[in-house]
Chains A and B, each alone.
Chain A
């Protein structure tokens, strides 16, 4: 079964660092992009960025460039989203999703989400 399993909920304080994970299984991890999507409480979906695990090529939304780092480890088939210094405004649900590319693109498999709560 193709699936993405994300790490558990986190409660952190402003200024702390955090790295959440997304483990892929049931498919060739290096052949598909993985994207991260933020959903703030009661709000819509926002694309944050995408990584191609094969060569770690990364694309970021301008809204998140410099605010987060996306990485991947082929040996453990895991993608990561990390912050060096959290803010209260980072409180949100974060989803990873597999991206099929060419001839048509889409996020076809989604993780269950990781809730990040940051207190000030």
Chain B
């Protein structure tokens, strides 16, 4: 199975900060990667699919980049509602595998 390694596992940031989360695949997965946001007590929400395509309704401050084995999720200007846990998911092959998650906390 493809392993997805996310870093950092947590970070503290202030409103207005630029934040970047990284996901590394154990083998090449083309651009078959999505990013999901989960707030406490809520279901995950799709932010980015195909590594860099913004899901409809998601604010443009979220962006994704990368292909092959290395991927980034960037929040250009962190807003109060962005404090959450973020997960990557590889869609390249079965079994689908999530990264371990990155918790974004308020500094």
Contacts and interface: CB of A to CB of B under 8 A. Distances in A.
Contacts, number: 66
Interface stretch (A13-21, A23-31, A70-78, A110-118): A110-118
B53 A59 contact: no
A47 B90 CA distance: 11
A61 B96 CA distance: 8
Contacts of A108: 46, 49, 55
A105 interface: yes
Interface residues of B, number: 25
A31 B29 CA distance: 25
The DSSP consensus for interface residues of chain B is loop
Contacts of B49: 100, 104-106, 108
Question: Is the contact region of chain A dominated by helix, strand, or loop, or is it mixed?
Answer: strand
Interface of B: 1, 31-32, 34, 36, 38, 43-46, 49-50, 53, 55, 87, 89, 91, 94-101
